[in-house]
Structure 1
Amino acid sequence: MNVIQEYRPSGRVVRAVRMALARRRVVIGLVVLVMLVVAAWLGPMVAPWEAGERDYDAFLAPPSASHWWGTDSTGRDVFVTTLVGLRKSLVLGLAVAVLSTAVAGVLGAVAGFYGGLTDRAFMRLADLLLILPPFLILATLASLAQGGGWVTFVLLLAGLLWMVTARMARSMTLSLRQRDYVRAARYMGVPSHTIVLRHIMPNLAPLLTVDVTMNVSGAIVLESALSYFGFGLRYPDVSLGTLIADGSAHAITHPWTFAFCTGLLVVVVLAVHLIGDGLRDTLDPRTRR
């Protein structure tokens, strides 16, 4: 019992959070990200126009007191539409990151701990998916699942973002299963799944935490790229990617239809990367200074 209790992660988590918040990059990234989240959810509530509402007297109108960020080619208010798209991109990026990282952590830990046929099967699947072009696969599958909505799109993205992290988790697990406390738990007759949950997964937490933050920006950028080429979300769903695709046709003549959504995408990616870099430096002893 003492062996199991000794490695509970609560104290390490609190200490890691304090160390992360002591880094300026993490604080700046969190502040910017919180501001974006608040704007995405509260901004449309204070705007004079509803999401999807059209002003048929103002097509491609410049920013004004009536339309703070102007209107697009269909008369929609760019301010409201952009913030609604930001909201969907944030939700989609977080959902994809959490799902793909969870899959990677579980598969990597199971493959590394059990070994044998289980290890070979999971790793051959990861190798196969790494060889195939992910953009081409996503474009093909997204076209076949157009009626599935954004949830289906989340599953597709998560299904092709777990392989690298899974291989890293497997490598760490191969080392962790040789530790004394893991061997002691096995000699005490602790079930294998309990060892994985109580000893392996908590020690993979630093890797998985950094991976979640990086996958958020990666998923948002990948969704934006797919939407730009017409393989992403479909109307009535709207995201930063779909808005960039729609506004690119008027980027020169009517820059407000393209600049605001593109600028928000850049800010989101930078904020998430600041958090991810700070967490990596905090949780990885090799980069800690």
Structure 2
Amino acid sequence: MSRTPTLRVLQQPLAWAGLIILAGMLLVALLAPWIARENPAAIDLSHRLASPGAAHWFGTDELGRDIFARVVYGARLSLGIAVMVVACSLSAGILLGGLAGYFGGLIDITINIFLMNAFMAMPGILLAIAFVAFLGPGMINLVLALSIGGWVGYARLVRAQVLAVREREFVEAARALGAGHLRIFLRHILPNILQPLIVQSAIGMAGAVLAEATLSFLGLGVPPPTPSWGSMLDEARSHLFDAPHLVLFPALAVMLCVLCFNFLGDALRDYLDPRTRISAGL
């Protein structure tokens, strides 16, 4: 008896690695007050730049703050911002891409040619930098800045999928039975285009974590003393050689977080794409 596709996918080492890393980071983010023994903002100049040891597992920074506690609380910030960015970008992409693909005509021309192309002409990270620099740093401004450039990829994907589904027989049947546009889209079209959106969202989480770290590194993230992986890397630049642990641990956190979402995105793509499943024997 052949094994189910789900079991075969879960036997992929990268899928398991992504699941384990993500589960661990989510657990760390949720249980941060109980996992971190120290206050991430507590200053202790008598132990500044301490090397990793029993008292401070990851060492301390130039202000004597515990790096382990700051990395743990930084996971809560980075994952929270990534979830909000993907949620906002996906919602805007479904709305605008769905309108363009479903109605076509002038609406499609306005959204696809003018709006999407205008945002695609500007690099997303530069647009986010300009937005945060204008409004000032902060979590809400950071989420809005990253969502402004992030919705375009979702909208283009939704538009392409809606164009392929809107002329299918079951959609025509629902339209012939008198179903309204909103009901047709929510009940018949959207469920049939969710698979690529799930894959895109998983990969988009990795991009959001990296973008948040980049803006925080440039001083445009959440203001201190809130710990952020990117701001920790920025603060560690002047101690790269005399205290390399300041760079090592937040950089590893960013790398592992991005890797786990990329691994999960690849595994989901292999499972949800019928062509990939057939070629891979899934």
Same fold (TM over 0.5): yes
Indicate yes or no: 2:192 matched with 1:203: yes
| Counterpart check, 1:35 vs 2:24 | yes
Is 1:19–1:282's contact at 8 Å kept on the other side of the alignment? no
1:141 partnered with 2:131: yes
Q: CA deviation at 1:194?
A: 0.6
Partner of 2:79: 90
Report what 1:257 is aligned to: 246
Query: What displacement does 1:18 show?
Result: 6.2
1:98-247 to structure 2, matched below 5 A, reads 98-123=87-112, 124-146=114-136, 149-247=138-236
- Of 114-123 and 17-26, the range deviating more from structure 2: 17-26
Q: C-alpha offsets along residues 171-201 of structure 1, whole Å, 9 cap, x if unaligned?
A: 1211211100101111111001110101111
Most deviating of 229-238 and 131-140: 229-238
Q: CA deviation at 1:44?
A: 4.3
Q: Distance in 2 between matches of 1:138 and 1:73?
A: 29
1:225–1:241 contact (8 Å) kept in structure 2: yes
Distance 2:139 2:125 in 1: 17
* 2:68 aligned partner: 79
Q: For 1:141, give the aligned amino acid.
A: F
For the 8 Å contact 1:150–1:237, the answer to whether it is kept is no
Alignment deviations for residues 58-84 of structure 1 (CA, whole Å, 9 cap, x no partner): 111111222121110111111101111
Structure 1: 5+ residue runs without aligned partners?
1-14
Q: 1:101 touches 1:211 (CA, 8 Å); kept in 2? A: no
Aligned-partner Cα distance in 2 for 1:108–1:22? 35
Distance apart, 1:22 and its partner CA? 5.1
Normalising to structure 2: TM-score of the pair?
0.91
CA distance in 2, matches of 1:255, 1:280: 37
* Equivalent residues, number: 274
Residues of 2 paired with 1:107 and 1:244: CA distance? 37
Q: Deviations over 1:225-275 (max 9, x none)?
A: 122222222223332111111112212210111100001111111111110
CA distance in 2 between partners of 1:185 and 1:102 (Å): 24
Distance 1:43 1:164 in 2: 33
* One-letter identity of the residue aligned with 1:39: V
Deviations, residues 46-101 of structure 1 (Å, cap 9, x unaligned) = 44321211112111111122212111011111110111112101111121112212
Distance 1:65 1:75 in 2: 15
Look up the SS of the partner of 1:53 in the other structure: coil
- RMSD (Å), alpha carbons: 1.8
Offset of residue 16 of structure 1:
7.9
User: What is the TM-score normalised by the length of structure 1?
Assistant: 0.89
